[in-house]
Structure 1
Amino acid sequence: MKPIRIHYLQHVPFEGLGCIGQWVTQNQHTLTVTRFFANDELPPVSDFDMLIIMGGPMGIYDDEKYPWLTEERQFIRQAIEANKTVLGICLGSQLIANAMGTKVHPNQEKEIGWFDISLTEEGRQCKLLDGFDATFPVFHWHGDTFELPAGAHHLFQSEGCKNQGFIRDNVLGLQFHFEVTPESLKEMLKHGQDELTNGKYIQSEEEIITHQHLIPQNNEMMFRILDRLLN
Structure 2
Amino acid sequence: MNIHFIQHETYEAPGAYQNWAKSRNHKISFSKVYENDVLPESADSIDMLIVMGGPQSPNTTLEECPHFNAKAEIALIQKCISAGKAVVGVCLGSQLIGEALGANFDHSAEKEIGVFPITLTEDGMKDEKINHFGTTLNVGHWHNDMPGLTKESKILAFSEGCPIQIVSYSNLVYGFQCHIELTTEVVSLLIESETDLLTKSEKHLFVQNPEEILSSDFTEMNEKLFQFLDKLSSSYKS
TM-score, length-normalised on structure 1?
A: 0.93
From 32, 39, 48, the equivalent of 2:29 is: 32
CA distance in 2 between counterparts of 1:136 and 1:188 reads 21
- Higher mean alpha-carbon deviation, 59-68 vs 95-104, is at 59-68
Aligned length: 226
Shift of 1:126: 0.7
**Paired residue secondary structure (2:44):** helix
Structure 1 residues 74-99: Cα deviation after superposition (integer angstroms, max 9, x where no partner): 11112111111000111111111111
Task: Describe how 1:83-102 pairs up with structure 2 within 5 A.
Answer: 83-102=84-103
* Aligned residue number for residue 177 of structure 1: 179
- Structure 2: state its 5+ residue gaps: none
Shift of 1:195: 5.1
Amino acid aligned to 2:231: R
- Comparing 197-206 and 216-225, the one that deviates more: 197-206
Relative to structure 1, is the Cα distance of residues 47 and 191 closer, same or farther in structure 2, using a 3 angstrom cutoff?
Answer: same
Please list, as runs of the form range in 1=range in 2, the aligned pairs for 1:124-203 lying within 5 A after superposition.
124-167=125-168, 168-194=170-196, 197=200, 198-203=203-208
Deviation of 1:156 (Å): 0.3
Superposition deviation, residue 149 in structure 1 = 2.1
The 8 Å contact of residues 16 and 222 in structure 2, kept in 1 or not, is answered as yes
How far apart are the structure 1 equivalents of 2:78 and 2:207?
32
Aligned partners of 2:21, 2:194: CA distance in 1, in Å? 27
Are residue 45 (structure 1) and residue 60 (structure 2) matched?
Answer: no
- After superposing the two structures, state which structure 1 stretch, 117-126 or 193-202, moved more: 193-202
| Structure 1 range deviating more: 57-66 or 33-42 | 57-66
Identity of aligned residues (%): 36
Considering only aligned residues, what root-mean-square deviation do their CA atoms show, in Å? 1.3
Structure 2 distance, partners of 1:14, 1:147, is 25
User: Which ranges in structure 1 are unaligned for 5 or more consecutive residues?
Assistant: none
Determine the C-alpha separation between the residues in 2 that align with 1:102 and 1:132: 26
Cα distance in 2 for partners of 1:169, 1:152 equals: 10
* 1:221 and 2:224 are equivalent in the alignment: yes
Q: Within 1, Cα distance between the matches of 2:209 and 2:106?
A: 24
CA distance in 2, matches of 1:141, 1:130: 23
**2:147–2:175 Cα contact (<8 Å) kept:** no
How far residue 147 of structure 1 moved from its aligned partner, in angstroms, is 2.5
Q: Secondary structure at 1:46's aligned position in 2?
A: coil
Q: Distance in 1 between matches of 2:155 and 2:128?
A: 13
Deviation at 1:203? 1.1
Deviation of 1:210 after TM superposition, in Å, equals 2.5
Contact 1:148 1:163 in 2 (8 A): no
- Counterpart of 1:66 in structure 2 is 65
Q: 1:47 is aligned with what amino acid?
A: S
What SS does structure 1 have at the residue aligned with 2:119? strand
Q: Secondary structure at the match of 2:116?
A: strand
